Amino acid sequence: MDHLLLFFLVAHLLIIIFLSKPFVILASESTNKSEVDRQALLDFRQGITDPLGVLRSWRKDSLDFCSWRGVTCGKALPLRVISLELNSLGLAGQLSSSLANLTSITRLDLGNNSFSGPIPATLFSASSQLVFVDLEVNLFSGRIPDFPRMSTLRILRLAENSLSGKIPASLGNVSSLTEIFMYSNSLGGSIPETLSQIQNLSFLSLSENNLVGHVPAQLYNISSLVALA
Ligand SMILES: *[C@@H]1O[C@H](CO)[C@@H](O)[C@H](O)[C@H]1NC(C)=O
Ligand SMILES: *[C@@H]1O[C@H](CO)[C@@H](O)[C@H](O)[C@H]1NC(C)=O
Ligand SMILES: *[C@@H]1O[C@H](CO)[C@@H](O)[C@H](O)[C@H]1NC(C)=O
Ligand SMILES: *[C@@H]1O[C@H](CO)[C@@H](O)[C@H](O)[C@H]1NC(C)=O
Ligand SMILES: *[C@@H]1O[C@H](CO)[C@@H](O)[C@H](O)[C@H]1NC(C)=O
Ligand SMILES: *[C@@H]1O[C@H](CO)[C@@H](O)[C@H](O)[C@H]1NC(C)=O
């Protein structure tokens, strides 16, 4: 067999291997987690405006999203976003539901900006690693989304927005909470009794809303509660 024939045979075989189904499935299954995070950040960037030009480092053609302003990545590979901190930067616009694709994020601080529209319902998921969420002092409106069982979220700051509707009873599913701030919104209805399931709750601030009814007696049974305002 001469070399040329061998070359063609091998090349042919390689093409067959590349085109065969198992290979294609394998390739699409090996999702690049970093690329998912980069895309989620770009989706978020796409939906907001940045009048002060503070997000200049967030370039579409930049692969190194870990160095973008406000983004912190963990040490494990592939690199994942663990924190997004963009407090007090004059940012506006609506939050992309793609934020939920940042499945390793523990800290989300978007406080004191001009973000508006709804809080994406996908933000709080059972598999979320979120520990700290600050969306305070913005223009968020609509209802607070439902909460699945979550066991990491400790601090939830939603105060000083235009949130309406009831405080979801499902908030009681977030057993890890220690601080809840929802004052100064347009929340109605009564305080859900389910909040008394949150054993380690120490701050609960719901003032300056349109709440009706009594503070559920069970709430006074939370031994860790030091402030109720
Ligand atoms: C994964 O995505 C990152 C960021 O886009 C890129 O730098 C890296 O080369 C990709 N890795 C693989 C194996 O595709
Ligand atoms: C809120 O952000 C503005 C800039 O947009 C800043 O001047 C102000 O000090 C911030 N307030 C707080 C409490 O951080
Ligand atoms: C990212 O989020 C969007 C919107 O929630 C979703 O449609 C998409 O499938 C997600 N992408 C990946 C790669 O997970
Ligand atoms: C969350 O709480 C609500 C109301 O308290 C309950 O109906 C629902 O089943 C809970 N969801 C999960 C996922 O535990
Ligand atoms: C409440 O706090 C204690 C002591 O810090 C901790 O061991 C426990 O896991 C906490 N409970 C919940 C539901 O997070
Ligand atoms: C508060 O706790 C005490 C002792 O565990 C119990 O007897 C009482 O019924 C509880 N009160 C409410 C309103 O849950």
Q: Measured between alpha carbons, how far is 1 from 207 in angstroms, rounded to an integer?
A: 87
Residue 30 pLDDT > 70, yes or no?
no
- 38 C-beta closer than 6 A to ligand 1: yes
Its CATH class, for the domain covering 2-228, is alpha beta
Confidence (pLDDT) at 33: 85
Ligand 1 in contact with 32 (CB < 6 A)? yes
- Give the pairing type, strands 71-73 and 81-85: antiparallel
Nearest atom within ligand 4 for CA of residue 194: 5
Concatenating the DSSP letter of every residue in 40-85 gives: HHHHHHHTEE-TT-TTTT--TT---GGGSTTEEE-SSSSP-EEEEE
Whether the bond into 168 is cis, omega within 30 of 0: no
H runs (alpha helix) in the chain? 3-19, 21-29, 33-46
18 Cβ contact list (under 8 Å, min separation 6): none
Q: State if residue 194 touches ligand 4 by the CB under 6 angstroms criterion.
A: yes
Who has greater pLDDT, 10 or 105? 105
Backbone conformation region of residue 10, classed left if phi is above 0, alpha if psi is from -120 to 50, else beta: alpha
Report the side by side order of strands in the sheet with 179-181.
71-73, 81-85, 107-109, 132-134, 155-157, 179-181, 203-205, 227-228
Atom 3, ligand 4: residue with shortest CA distance: 170
pTM greater than 0.75: yes
> Atom 5, ligand 1: which residue's CA is nearest?
35
The pLDDT value given to residue 130: 98
pLDDT at residue 24 in the model: 41
Ligand 2 first shell, C-beta below 6 A: 88, 90, 112
Chain segment 120-177, per-residue pLDDT in tens:
999 999 999 999 999 999 999 999 999 999 999 999 999 999 999 999 999 999 999 9
What is the C-alpha to C-alpha distance for residues 115 and 168, in angstroms, rounded to an integer?
22
Q: Out of 127, 128, 170, give the residue to mutate to test ligand 4, the one with the largest number of ligand atoms within 8 Å of its CB.
A: 170
pLDDT tens by residue, 33-81: 899 999 999 999 999 999 999 999 999 999 999 999 999 999 999 999 9
CA of 215, nearest ligand number: 6
**Domain boundaries defined on the chain:** 2-228
pLDDT digits (tens, 9 = 90+) for 79-101: 999 999 999 999 999 999 999 99
> What is 142-153 written as a DSSP string?
EEPPP---BSS-
